[in-house]
Amino acid sequence: MSEDLKDAIAPAPLLRWWGLYFGGWLVLLLTVMVGARIGLPGLPFFTYFAIGFALNRLIVRQLEFHPIHNTIGNVASAKLWSFLLWPVSYFGLLARLVIIRVL
């Protein structure tokens, strides 16, 4: 690979993304405890979706899809599932990115 191309392709900020992911878990756990303490059991429900939305805006937006898979349906599906099931989907995504970088 040429040096110009290596400079143009910046590596993904994996440590920052892992920090956002675990920060989301921490915020969710704190909201569960605070919601139970102050009598708002629905607070974690809204927090869960707010964290999924924030992770989509901060992580998925920085990813580039392969041109063959860069269709409206594929991108919308990936973003929707990442939003709805963020604890599972982001763990899988970040683990795959670490494996790609290490191996």
Global pTM value: 0.83
Q: What is the pLDDT of residue 70?
A: 87
Q: Which residues, in sequence order, are CB contacts of 29 under 8 Å at separation 6+?
A: none
| Model confidence pLDDT, tens digit, residues 31-65 | 999 999 999 989 999 999 999 999 999 998 888 88
Annotated domain spans of the chain: 3-102
Long-range contacts formed by 45-54: CB under 8 A, 24+ apart: 48/86, 49/83, 51/24, 51/27, 51/86, 52/82, 52/83, 52/84, 52/86, 53/83, 54/20, 54/24
| Model confidence pLDDT, tens digit, residues 68-81 | 888 999 889 989 99
